Chains A and B, each alone.
Chain A
Amino acid sequence: RKEVEQDPGPFNVPEGATVAFNCTYSNSASQSFFWYRQDCRKEPKLLMSVYSSGNEDGRFTAQLNRASQYISLLIRDSKLSDSATYLCVVEKAGGTSYGKLTFGQGTILTVHP
């Protein structure tokens, strides 16, 4: 089983749509969680950290369920510029895994006019 698994996608949605991505992780010792986005052949860019209480940043809402080891990202009112690959990322602090990020394979989102 992969350490971080995401919806296979791709997602193809019209502008203005709401889209949700899911992610599960296998290591219960994981402590920090993030969503990154990666545009074609470019570096990953931090979208948002994910907290147990859930957090929102404009049109983006992230949720974490530690009991189910499940992370989600909701994008409301999709824009063309949201088209990218969305990466679910976990980090297990402490010991030799300190600072090591584990990435999911990514989910491709295409927003069309």
Chain B
Amino acid sequence: NAGVMQNPRHLVRRRGQEARLRCSPMKGHSHVYWYRQLPEEGLKFMVYLQKENIIDESGMPKERFSAEFPKEGPSILRIQQVVRGDSAAYFCASSPPSDYQYEQYFGPGTRLTVT
């Protein structure tokens, strides 16, 4: 059973370009979460999605950032017009549908570098 998959693992973008980060959850998992870890900082929640629905986007910056989890295919975190401050590790996590504790399993992350 493959774990959470993210690609690309490393992404370099120039200021002003767009970055697209992809996440495929574990098999059987229908909940996807995105977190960001800035250099020397802790992980911060960005957005929680289920198929075709954004459940909680309270951690998303108001501008330039968007996320989706379509009916088919991976979840996408999209950053438009990237700036140097967007350089960070972006982790995706997934969990199964559950009424109990939400144990989230993380992918290897995408390290975004903005030059």
Describe B's contact surface by its main secondary structure. strand
> Which residues on A sit within 8 Å (CB–CB) of B111?
41
B55 — which chain A residues lie within 8 A by C-beta? 98-99
Bound: A99/B35 CA distance, A: 12
User: Nearest A residue to B49 by beta-carbon distance?
Assistant: A99
B25 beta carbon closer than 8 Å to chain A = no
Q: How many A-B residue pairs have CB under 8 A?
A: 64
> Interface on B for A, CB 8 Å cutoff?
31, 33, 35, 41-45, 48, 55-56, 58-59, 89, 91, 93, 95, 101-109, 111
CB contact list, A73-113 vs B, under 8 A: 87, 91, 93, 96-106
Residues of A near B48 (CB, < 8 A) are 98-100
Nearest Cβ on chain A to B41's Cβ, whole angstroms: 8
Q: Is A42 an interface residue (CB 8 A)?
A: yes
| Cβ of A13 to closest chain B Cβ, rounded Å | 23
A46 with B103: CB separation less than 8 A: yes
